[in-house]
Every structure is written in structure tokens, then in C-alpha cells.
Amino acid sequence: MLLTSCAVGPDFLHPAAPEITRYTREPLAATSAADTASGQAQRFVAGRDIPQEWWKLFKSAGLNALIEHSLQNNSNLQSALATLRAAHEAVAAQQGRFFPLVEANFNPTRQQSAGPISPVLGSANNPFNLVTAQVLVSYTFDIWGLNRRTVESLQALADVQNFQVEAAYLSLTSNLAVAAITEASLRGQIEATEQLIGTNTKMLGILQQQLKAGLANGSDVAAQEAALAQAQATLPPLRKALAQQHDLLAALSGGFPGDGPRETFTLPDLHLPADLPVSLPSQLIEQRPDVRAAEEQLHSASAQIGIATANTLPSFTISATGGYMNTALAHLLAPQNLFWELAGNATQTVFDAGTLWHQLQGAKETYQAAAWTYRGAVIDAVQNVADALRALQSDADALRAANEFQRAAKRSLDLASQQLQSGNANVLLILNAQQAYLQATLQVVQARAARLSDTAALFAALGGGWWNRPAPLPEQNFDTTTGQTEPLAAKHDGF
């Protein structure tokens, strides 16, 4: 039976790749271009591999330093790594069941037997001492593969955690990149607003001089004062958002708000990548951590069917006990004190009111649930890539339109300002030109940031290149008594 034993239940097969060759109905084409910063066209290169440190394509030394520091100190990532180490230990613990269980026992006792059953010993001593030293060995044959399927299920769950580590890594790096871009966008919006405030202040001064000279009336001055106040009122919310964004960067990098990152980000510091790799859909399911985790959940559910099946079949156990027993510790190991026992046991459930059968059916339905979850993960992954590709196309068009709007608004504002200085301006025309220019400038800043953010989103949607990482992620230990961290000395397989 040992030589012919096998693991009952289904053997797991990798799900088939989706039968699609592209993410959108129409072929991918380069994005449009605009004659402004971050306005170059982006080209999509099908089948090109994703660089592991994709954020370096933005050519920002500050972003590179921030992400490198965060990988060592982010709490979520380090927690996922510690959970992965625990999952590996669970697999190793279950693998120990492939070997016999050996226990040693030493039991000195003093006892007195009741009169009706005395004497217990060969002598009439009562009470008496009894010293026992023994070794117990037991082994359950894995005939139906119960333990093998259990190890298989635990290994699949460890692989799930492995890909959850990669998901945490991808989430951290992409969130840091987007947070840095958002901070740069807010700084750009604040700068544009401050420039407009300066322009409004200058125009208010001109109107006040014209009022003294009798060339303007008080309503014109009041209208300009209101426009200036309105522009100034937009600054506090932007500064609040900038401060909160900096706090977010501090938290993502594993620090407190007061110990926030030293790096600051502006849009000119971030370069827009021109050539963007796009993996084939058949490659995507091997690259996305969430899809790989869903596949391993399916693998674990498949092994659970084997476990439930094996539980319905007989179990075979052999056990042996051997040792020495004497009334005194001296001469305990004498040959006449030796005892031993060898026993075999076969157990088969005869009646359990259908418990094991229903557990088997439940395992099969759990597998079905995992299969549908996997399919949903694949669809979501393809959708994420398609959404990112369409967003990049729209972002390029939005930046070009915003840039044209800004140029037209700037010409209108310049003409209105010249008329104001010559005393021939209509204040309402000036106010409208100011408002249009502010709106256009903010749209340009936001459109530039959107192109950068959606580029980072595309890299994240494609899996982030974790499979090209040359070295393990840095692992840290956290001492709760001191609040200090230190590098983990022992490295584990896979990380």
C-alpha cells in the first residue's frame, strides 16, 4: 500500500490564459503632443518588459531616494514580509508530519494501591515507588495523500502571501509616485495662484491711482478688490492640501508627520517617459500580483478537495513503546526491567450522519468560488490596463487643449492690462480675463500632473516589474520595547 499510495483529489492545473491579444478594440497609437512642458507624445511598445525600478524613468533623484527609504521602513510592507515568513514556517511545520513522531518520557511516581487489588508489584510493598523511562514512536502512513495535500494547500497559501508582499510593494511604490506627483501639482497650482494674486495686486494699484486722477470710479476699484480677495481665498485650501500630502508621504515612508521626508517635488523635476512598455494580455496574468494570488488561492482550494476526500478513507497508524520500569532509579536499565509494545491501528468512519460527505461537497464549492474570484481578478487586471491606456490618450488631448486655452487667455489678459494702463479698459473685461487665465493655468498644471500620474498608474496596472528584482526586499525587525528597527539577520527562501 505504501509503494502504490497516491494523493487523492484533483491535481492542480494552471488556468488558461485569456484568449485576447490587445486591451482595446482599436490598435494602440501614440498620444497627441502639445508645445509645452510634459507635452511630448508617448508611444506604446507592445511586448516590452517592465523595468523593476520603473519610477526611475521619471528621472527624479528625490523620488528615487524617497522610494528607496520607504521600502525599508514602510509598516505595511514589513508586516507583509513578516506574515510571509510565518507562512513559510507553517509549511515547514506541516512537512514534519512526513516523519515519525518520537517522544521520550521519564516518570517517577510514588503510589499506594487499594487493598482489593494489592499487590501490584511482584513484592508486597505498598505504598511503593515506580520509575519509568520510555520512548514512544508513532507514524501515520500517508496512503491517501492527506498530509501531502495539506502541505500543498499550505504552500499555496504561502505563495498567496508571497504575492501579497508583491502587491504591497507595488502599492507602496505607485502610491509614493502618485503622492509625489500630486504634491508637485499642488505646488504648481499654488505658484500659479500667487502669480495671479500678484497681477491682481498690480492692477488694483493702477486702478487706485486712476481713481485719484479721476480716470476711474469707486465701483471699478471695489470690483478689483473683490477679484483680488477671491484669488487670495483659493490659497489656503491649496496649502492645506499640500501640507496633508506631505504628511501622507511621511506616513508612506514609515515616519511621523513631524519627521516628514526632506524631498520636495515640483513638476519641472519630473520627466514624462516617452516610450511606455505594454505587456501582452497573456503575460499580464503572470505579472499581476493580485491575479497570481487569486491563482494560488484556487490552488489551495483544489488541495482542500484532496484533504476532504482523504478524510473519508481509512487511516493507518503504527506505534511502538519501549523502555524500562523499576521500583528504584538504581539498576533501572537492567535487562529484566525492559518492556515494549508494538501496535497497529486502522480507522474508518462508519457513520457520521453525512458530515464528511458534506465537507467534501463544501470543498468543491469553495473551489468554484475561488475559480470565479480568479476570473474576476483577470478581468479587473485587463480593465485596469485598458483604463490606464485610455486615460493617457485623453490626458494628452486635455493638456493640448489646456495649453491652447492658456495661451489665448494670456493674450486676452495682456491686452486688457495694456488697456487698463492707458485708461481705456473695461473693468469687467479685465476681471473676466483674469479669471479665464487663472482657470487655464490651473488646468495646464492639473493636465501635466494627470499625464504623470496616469503613467505611474499604467506601470502599476502592468504589475510593476517585480519579477525583475535582482535582490530580495529589505527585511527589518521591529523592537516594540524600544521602537527601533534593525535589519533581519536571517534570509528566507524567495525573499
DSSP code string of 425-474: --HHHHHHHHHHHHHHHHHHHHHHHHHHHHHHHHHHHTTTTGGG-SSPPP
What is the predicted pLDDT for the residue at 5? 58
What is the predicted pLDDT for the residue at 128? 84
Beta strands at 43-46 and 275-278: parallel, antiparallel or unpaired: parallel
What is the predicted pLDDT for the residue at 114? 82
What is the predicted pLDDT for the residue at 134? 96
Q: What is the DSSP letter of 311?
A: H
Task: Determine phi and psi for 172, rounding to 5 degrees.
Answer: -65, -50
Helices (H), 213-258: 218-233, 235-252
Is there a contact between 493 and 88 (Cβ–Cβ < 8 Å)?
A: yes
Give the integer Cα–Cα distance in Å for 47 and 493: 30
What is the predicted pLDDT for the residue at 471? 84
Give the integer Cα–Cα distance in Å for 186 and 271: 17
Q: What is the CATH number of the domain that holds 216?
A: 1.20.1600.10
- Residues belonging to the chain: 495
Question: Strand ranges (DSSP E) for 115-182?
Answer: 128-141
Is position 53 within any domain?
Answer: yes
What is the predicted pLDDT for the residue at 495? 40
Q: Which residues pair with 324 in a beta bridge?
A: 133, 338
Give the integer Cα–Cα distance in Å for 263 and 61: 9
464: left (phi over 0), alpha (psi -120 to 50) or beta: left
Is position 374 within any domain?
Answer: yes
Of the candidates 249, 233, 279, the one whose C-alpha atom is nearest the C-alpha of residue 184 is 249
Of the candidates 8, 309, 317, 347, the one whose C-alpha atom is nearest the C-alpha of residue 141 is 317
pLDDT in tens, the chain (495 residues): 454 457 899 999 999 988 888 898 888 899 999 999 899 999 999 989 999 999 999 999 999 999 999 999 999 999 999 999 999 999 999 999 999 999 999 999 998 888 787 777 777 788 888 999 999 999 999 999 999 999 999 999 999 999 999 999 999 999 999 999 999 999 999 999 998 898 888 888 888 887 888 777 888 889 889 988 988 999 999 999 999 999 999 999 999 998 878 889 999 999 999 999 999 898 999 999 999 999 999 999 999 999 999 999 999 999 999 999 998 888 899 999 999 999 999 999 999 999 999 999 999 999 999 999 999 999 999 999 999 999 999 999 999 999 999 999 999 988 888 887 776 666 778 888 888 988 899 999 999 999 999 999 999 999 999 999 888 888 988 888 888 888 886 444 444
Cell of 327: 521500583
Is position 218 within any domain?
Answer: yes
Give the integer Cα–Cα distance in Å for 91 and 493: 12
Is position 486 within any domain?
Answer: no
Distances (CA, A) of 462 to 261, 286, 289: 28, 10, 10
**Residue holding cell 496649502?**
239
Of the candidates 181, 182, 179, 169, the one whose C-alpha atom is nearest the C-alpha of residue 53 is 169
Q: Which amino acid is at 239?
A: R
Is position 4 within any domain?
Answer: no
What lies within 8 Å, CB to CB, of 47 at 6+ separation is: 277, 278, 279, 280, 283
Is position 448 within any domain?
Answer: yes
Give the integer Cα–Cα distance in Å for 35 and 182: 22
Is position 494 within any domain?
Answer: no
Buried b or exposed e, range 102-117, using 16+ CB within 10 angstroms: eeeeeeeeeeeeeeee
Containing domain of residue 383, as a range?
A: 43-101+142-318+356-472
Give the number of domains in the chain. Answer: 1
What is the predicted pLDDT for the residue at 493? 47
**Residue holding cell 493636465?**
447
Instruction: Return the HEC string of 171-217.
Output: HHHHHHHHHHHHHHHHHHHHHHHHHHHHHHHHHHHHHHHHHHCCCCC
Is there a contact between 94 and 147 (Cβ–Cβ < 8 Å)?
A: yes
Is position 446 within any domain?
Answer: yes
